[in-house]
Each structure stands twice: as C-alpha cells, then as structure tokens.
Amino acid sequence: MYRILAEHGELRERRNQRRHPKRAAPTVTATQPNEAWVWDVTKVRGPTKGSFFYLAVIMDLFSRYILAWACENSESAHVATTLFGEATRHYGITPGQLVVHADRGSAMKSKALAELFEQLGIRKSHSRPRCSNDNPHMESAFKTYKYAPAYPGRFADIGEAKDYARAAFPMYNTHHRHSSLAFLTPETVFTGKANDIIARKQATLDRAYESNPGRFPKGRPIAPALPARVVINPDRGVEAIQEAH
C-alpha cells in the first residue's frame, strides 16, 4: 500500500505546516584584533535545581581573547550596555571600527543596546532565528569553560560563580592554545606577538632539520601559520579559491 501511495505522491504531510522563510546566513570577517567581537549569555547552575546565574561574555573574533564578562542573577539590557560601554572605552574602540555579532536573545536585541551601538558607531550582526551554529566561536569558548576539569557544575552563590570566572578567563587568555590559531594563546594573538613567536618556532625547526635531516622523512618541517582571517559562515567555494591563490 505504501508503495502504491508513493507512486501517486500521497506519502506527504496533508496538514498545513508552518513554513519559516529562508534567511541568509550572516557573514562576519575579522583580519585583525578589535575588528569584530562576538558575545553571548550562558546560564551556569546555582545551588539548587532550577536556579541559575547568567554569564555574559564578549570575545574578540580574530584572537578568541576574552575582552569582558559579567555574571548576574538575570539577563538584562542594563547588564549588556554597561558591559559594552566599559569594554569599548577600555579598548579604545572608535566609530566605524567594530562589528558585533550575537544571537537573538532579549538583551542582544534590546533597544538600549541598539542605541548604544548607534552612539558608538558599532555595526550589528545577528544569528538567524532558531539557528544555534551562527555563533560557533562563542559556543566553543563556553564549552571549554564548562568542560574544564576544575568546573564545579554548580555554584553555591553568585560570588562563587564570579570567583571562578575571575580565575578561568585569565587562564583561558594566557594558557589555552588553539589549534586554529597555530597553537598560540589568545593573548599572544591579541597583543600582536604571534608572528614573532611563529618566526622563532620556524628558526628552531630549521636548526633541527639542518642538524639531522634524517629525523624528518617528510622534508623540512614548517611551523603552523596564523590564519589571515577568521570568518563566521564563510562561503566554502570562495574560501577554497582564495586559499588556492
């Protein structure tokens, strides 16, 4: 019977289904620090089941450097505007310099934050509705944060949650090495020291190769290079052509 129905095109949903319009994937590109920031809010568990604290984090897209964070009892536009106001002043952001990417949470789309961005000359970018992978770099940072061996799972109070963040984020910036950043730390890339370190690595590899080429059956070793750009939702075809050239 199902084969007969399939032949007549009757194996489909007959009820009216809600159809969401297709939206273009947002594309954000960074070729240097402080060109694009990403941010998000994640919930961390409180002392009892169903209790949470809200951790807001701003990260530089190119270097993965954690720029600012706040942990509060609730997610709000006030927390977001205060956090961005302090971060832009601290890092000397000028009008037209920065694009900020986020999802479509209430704080991210708030009128107060939009007005602040307008005043500061910051361009906005938002993820598509119901699309969890349009902000992958921020999601990856949250996973690293929560899957760390020292992460307690629950916090007794908001003070304990803040104390953990105060210790975890500097460690992330100065010790966590990214395979996508030539195994360098976010601080190294953010502060512009990456090329010098990569050059020193290459010099060490060159000396090792010249002293004993037999150790390297595949030829002269090459130190990993820092990517020229970091892109959210890259066009794979265009990326392949650019990398080939």
Phi-psi region of 50 (alpha: psi -120 to 50; beta: other; left: phi over 0): left
pLDDT for position 154: 95
Residue 38 contacts by C-beta under 8 Å, 6 or more apart in sequence?
28, 58, 59, 61, 100, 101, 102, 135, 137, 138, 232
* pTM beyond cutoff 0.75: yes
Q: Give the separation between CA 156 and CA 112, rounded to whole angstroms.
A: 32
Q: pLDDT in tens for each of the 245 residues of the chain?
A: 889 988 888 887 777 777 777 778 899 999 999 999 999 999 999 999 999 999 999 999 999 999 999 999 999 999 999 999 999 999 999 999 999 999 998 999 999 999 999 999 999 999 988 887 889 999 999 999 999 999 999 999 999 999 999 999 999 999 999 999 999 999 999 999 999 999 999 999 999 999 999 999 999 999 999 999 999 988 754 343 333 33
The pLDDT of residue 5: 87
CATH topology of domain 28-176: Nucleotidyltransferase; domain 5 (3.30.420)
Which element (helix H / strand E) includes 84?
Answer: helix 77-90
Distances (CA, A) of 111 to 76, 114, 118: 11, 5, 10
CA gap 155, 195 in Å, rounded: 40
**Residue 145's pLDDT is what?**
95
For the chain, domain boundaries: 28-176, 187-234
